[in-house]
Structure 1
Amino acid sequence: MKKKGLLLCISMAIILVSCQGNPDQGSEGGDSLVSAVKPLKADLIQPKGTNVAERIAVPKGFERIPVENGSYEAYLRQIPLKPHGSKVHLFNGELKAKEVYEAVLDVDVGERDLQQCADSVMRLRAEYLYGKGWYDKIHFNFTNGFKADYATWAKGNRIEVTGNKVSWVKRGASSNSYEGFRSYLNMVFAYAGTLSLAKEMEHITLSEMRPGDIFLEGGSPGHAIVVMDMAYNPKNGEKLFLLAQGYTPAQEMHILENPANGKGNPWYNISFGDKLQTPEWKFTNEQLFRFYTL
């Protein structure tokens, strides 16, 4: 497993359990599922759909929330998915042990055990900004607080870690190549995680939720799951949301099923009560965060 916050004043014993199993996780013998709302039994999966919006329909009476064209919310909704029925693979080609998902994002996981839970969240955000050409807005903090910004990396600088010291070192010519961008992300994945994300993100309330927000428990173990899309009922204001995650070991990102609804309906109700029970982790209703403002 990769070392979250490696050599950055965090003990190895703590680092090695980052993003791993939580005593409260639903599919590992944790508390029984308790839903604050009536489960929505329905098959909403559209097998021919090629992205999130096309593959997962909304329940009867609901509409997808409006999002601005070109926004991060719209980007997440249009992320391509692998063909219906695809399985989640780990970085080494093995299959994920548990099928707790309804769809698999068509986003590579790399060939190293790096892109885990928090890394997957950062990957989506960074890919959106890179695609927009907003290089100066791509930055993440290491666990020790070091700011790793892509704009500095793209100027030919590289990050050097010596013991607990982290610094920039000039190594080459400027380049905004995608290959260089992915190398930058791998460095971020190696030294950032849920602990660092929790310190640099804005805490928000459930009533403020938008696609792109993150359910996040910073720690070792810790976990991060992204809100991929939302829907609402115009008659009563009821809101639903979809979740996607990466996990440990590094694996392809996937749209989570909702165990309370059963297969075919991955929507979660925003009125879930004090605890949000997902297939492999439990969050509180106060663990919702948002990335820095663009």
Structure 2
Amino acid sequence: MVDGYNQQLVDAEGKIIKDRFKPPVGYERINYKKNEFGYFLEQLPVKPIDKLVTYYNGRTKDRRDIYASVVDLPIGKRDLHQCADAVMRLRADYLYQNKKYNDIHFNFVSDGKPRYYNKFADGDYSYSKYWKYLEYIFAYANTASLHDELSTVKSMDDVRIGDTFVQKGNPIGHAIVVVDMVVNPKTGQKLVLMAQSYMPAQELQIINNPINKSISPWYALSDEVIRTPEWKFYSENLKTWN
């Protein structure tokens, strides 16, 4: 066991999620088409295994027991890219990469109404304008608005890659996203990898499993309570984009 995860399930040389994390014995990945959300998430780049999570201000998150790897994506210089923001960002990045501009929209917490990327871009689809849109969303959307925007998954047996655990919280909530999934073809049981950002704004990280370290960082969603290193979720918190 190394830093909270099973070393046999982690390939330090892997440069994307799919190559960094090995399925436990008896489990297989699902094949996704290149235009699917699952494919996009499995292909997310990860930093070298020894890299620490960096906050927006350049400081580092030294608690290596929390995470197994750092997702290699920029987060900006403002204290905005927190938990729900990172979840929305991944969904938006996938849609932006596939030029599905009409589908990029997120609800504000103030009125529950969507703000559309197409309208914000006004014909300018450059990455710099896109990032401005994201920071606009980050500033006025949160776990509460994300929770209300997404549909509830009836059973954790139905979990899919890209689904999100979201808690509104009072005064604060949290959100984590399923970024990879494997299935046991004999039993149908699923294991998932999950990623989070947190407060203050920080890089996305693949979180360890503090309850079952033998399969960490994979999680088996077989219990009503999902205990992660920094939060506790319940089965009813599982949400989906579609």
TM-score norm. by structure 2 comes to 0.93
Letter matched to residue 156 of structure 2: L
Query: Whose radius of gyration is greater, 1 or 2?
Result: 1
- The root-mean-square deviation of aligned C-alpha atoms, in Å, is 1.5
Structure 1 position 71 matched with structure 2 position 20: no
**Which one-letter code corresponds to 1:229 in the other structure?**
D
CA distance in 2 between partners of 1:153 and 1:96 (Å): 34
Please give the residue correspondences for 1:105-120 in structure 2 after superposition, counting only pairs within 5 Å: 105-120=71-86
Contact 1:115 1:251 in 2 (8 A): yes
Q: Which is further off, 137-146 or 187-196?
A: 137-146
Q: Which runs of 5+ in 1 are unaligned?
A: 1-39, 156-173
Find the counterpart in structure 2 of residue 35 from structure 1.
none
CA deviation after TM superposition for structure 1 residue 111, in Å: 0.4
Tell me the equivalent position of 2:132.
Answer: 183
**CA deviation after TM superposition for structure 1 residue 69, in Å:** 2.8
Q: Deviations over 1:117-170 (max 9, x none)?
A: 000001111011111111110000100223211010111xxxxxxxxxxxxxxx
Q: Output the amino acid matched with 1:102.
A: A
Q: Where does the alignment leave 5 or more consecutive residues of structure 2 unmatched?
A: none
What code does the residue aligned with 1:200 have?
Answer: E
Distance of 2:92 and 2:189 partners within structure 1: 31
Please tell me whether residue 240 in structure 1 is matched to residue 191 in structure 2. Answer: yes
Is the CA contact 1:141–1:192 (under 8 Å) kept in the aligned structure 2? yes
Q: Report the number of matched residues.
A: 234
| Partner SS, residue 266 of structure 1 | coil
- Partner SS state of residue 130, structure 2: helix
Paired letter, 1:290: T
Q: Which residue is equivalent to 2:179?
A: 228
**Cα distance in 2 between the residues matched to 1:52 and 1:260:** 22
How do residues 140-155 of structure 1 correspond to structure 2 at under 5 angstroms? 140-144=106-110, 145-155=112-122
Identity, in percent, stands at 43
Runs of 4 or more, structure 1, over 4 Å off, are: none
DSSP-derived class of the 2:232 partner: strand
Does residue 135 in structure 1 map to residue 140 in structure 2? Answer: no
TM score, norm. by length of structure 1 = 0.77
Counterpart code for 2:162:
G
Could you tell me how far 1:236 is from its partner in structure 2? Answer: 1.7
